[in-house]
A and B are shown apart, each in its own frame.
Chain A
Amino acid sequence: MDKMPKWADIVLIPLISLLLAAFFSALVILAIGENPIEALKLMIDGALMRSAGWGYTLYYATNFIFTGLAVSVAFHARLFNIGGEGQAMLGGLGVALVCLYIPWPHWSLSILGASVGAALFGALWALIPAYLQAKRGSHIVITTIMFNFIAAALLNYVLVEMLRPVGAMDPASAKFPDATHLPSFQDMFSTAETPMFRGAPANVTFFLALIACVVVWALIWRTRLGYEIRAFGQSETAAKYAGISPVRITVIAMLISGALAGMMSVNTTMGESERLILNSTEGAGFIGIAVALMGRNHPFGVFLAAILFGFLYQGGAELALWTSIPRELIVVIQALVILFTGALDNMVRHPLEKLFIALRRRNA
């Protein structure tokens, strides 16, 4: 008998955690002398009430969906991939090379090419830590973190020494050709009379992220490989008994994870900046950990959590713009959400479990 119904686990716990995070955020905002209700209004207004706000929210959410899925897939194999950030950076390099050096006739082809490039580079960046974990037992958490730093340094070098156009001052690649321009939501949904999503960076990659959700869901719960990944994640000894190779699953799960993290760069590098810049990932690789935790490693949960974090990002930017609440405080609020939905999960879970058991006993 499970301790509590599934809906409580999936819906109630994140909701309560979220309310707790909101409560403590409100206290913090009060403490610096601002009105939390006003702040919330401003955030909702800026992120959700106008189409342009949604355009930003969904743009961020797209990043978080990819990195959240990346963490989830690895986590199903009990691998904690903290290297999403670095894998996404390298994914960006893959996108840039594909866009710069292959003459694409149309964006619909270039997005496929760029996705392959991003996935390939992201996956390869995850391969080395995966191999070290599988063959040498080097802990994946340590190696993937270190690979984030290596990725940042590598990208810096490549941009400054190799991809920077002659005479340019900033460490960035040349602008991608026009044929690789991805339709933004503004291009897609605006009519002559009513402009929509004006100026917002959300673009067609969002739908690619939705497809990734479905594919990951099918992979994990409907395929042999997903079965093996979950089995290995639950019990390595049992996996060995069944003839599932730990080395193989570790490497494959990390390759998929790295590929998903890398694909985030299609959104940022191709969809938004249209050239490769330093730090285009902006910490989305790390946010992916929180998104996966909150989304219970399920693609649908990841999707919802990604929207929430997209809202926090965009709403936070609005706050910084219109109030005296500093940008740093937004990070505090985001941290509180991560803290309550992820790290302090058990704080909410245990009392709730007790409650449900007590309720059940009364009914029995």
Chain B
Amino acid sequence: MLKKIFNWLMQPIGLIAVGIAFLSVFSAAVYGISLTQQTPPQPIEFPHQTHVQFGIQCLYCHPGAAKGPAAGIPSQAKCWACHNQIEKTATSELLAPLKDAVLNGESIQWVPVAIVPDFVQFNHRAHVAAGKNCEDCHGDMSKVNIAENPQVMNMGWCLNCHIETAGEDQEKLIKLTDCGTCHY
């Protein structure tokens, strides 16, 4: 039985069938991986680029980054403070969800992009205080529209930077590579 199948597969038509099967599995895998690398759909296609070009600082909308663990995603009240003075807001189709949210008093369900798992305790404040700039981890927002991760945020990436930052300072290296610094 197995011999029969093998012989059939060794024919030209069998080889083509094997090729097609391999290609379809391979392309499905590539498609699956590419899905995980795409930026998630947001309720509003928020153009970071435009806002940065107007000279708005990161900390204006994400003030938590300098103070505590979470940078924070602004509520629509913060958007509205500027946008209710902008004529285009009333007519723009892209901004319709913002207008609806403000008029109905519902919050906009933004999808967080830069996230770490629950078992990682990340603190923005310590990183900002250590002299890290936002773009070191989040990429240059003046070049992207919808926020995306410039790199895979995994533990190897964290540790590389921690070891580099510690340098020759042994005490700092112990603190920055200690499991209990991030996992508890």
The answer on A and B forming one complex is no
